[in-house]
Chain A
């Protein structure tokens, strides 16, 4: 069973709109990490954020913000005032200590920002 669910396969927004990418995860481990990566057309995985299971503080970094809620097993990612350069596939990932720290990726959300 998929441990990370990104229900939104594709999203299109007009430049300057805000957009939220959803991520729901499943784990029985008490110590785990959640990540978001951006994958532009060039293919590399660009690290955006890491959050451990004991830190539920939301985080803001420029136009990016993340909302981690253990009660709903969600780790959503919001881009405010989107730009064309934000167009990419975004992956949410889970890593559990008891399964050797391998990453379980969601299926990704392809974001297109239209000028």
Chain B
């Protein structure tokens, strides 16, 4: 079965650079969620999109922005990168039926800022 695809799997950037993470949800899933997991931390909710509109916002820094495109894939754009942005970034998607029909995480993108 198709899963949530995240790219790239690993990314190394320098301070003050920009990074773009991509997420391709499961086909027919209309909601995408982004999470950030710092070293030794639990994943923290950043932002979510439903039908290409932002639906909820968590602890996402102003330097970050995200959007969901017409094909339902989503991109997380991170600018002016800081060392503290080094983390594992997860994307998850859910179906129109909501949680009762499933909620699937991608394998994550590991961002290292040097």
Interface residues of chain A, those whose CB is within 8 Å of chain B, are: 33, 35, 37, 43-45, 47, 50, 52, 91, 95, 97, 99-108
Instruction: Please give the distance in Å from B55's CB to the nearest CB on chain A.
Output: 6
Which chain B residue shows the least CB distance to A104? B45
Establish whether residues A105 and B42, one from each chain, have CB atoms under 8 Å apart when the complex forms: yes
Chain A contacts for B48, CB-based, 8 A: 100-102
Known: A33-B99, A91-B42, A102-B56. Contact between A43 and B33, CB under 8 A? no
Rounded to whole Å, the gap between the CB of A22 and the closest CB of chain B is 15
User: In the complex the two chains form, what is the Cα distance from A99 to B56 in whole Å?
Assistant: 8
B interface residues, Cβ below 8 angstroms from A: 31, 33, 35, 41-45, 48, 55-56, 58, 88, 90, 92, 94, 98-100, 103-105, 107-108, 110
Across the A-B interface, how many residue pairs have beta carbons closer than 8 Å?
Answer: 57
Which residues of the partner chain B approach A33 to less than 8 Å between Cβ atoms?
A: 99-100
A-B contact pairs, 7 of them (CB 8 A): A44-B105, A47-B105, A101-B103, A102-B56, A103-B33, A105-B42, A107-B42
Partner pick for A100 among B35, B43, B55, B88, CB 8 A cutoff:
B55
Which residues on B sit within 8 Å (CB–CB) of A97?
A: 98-99
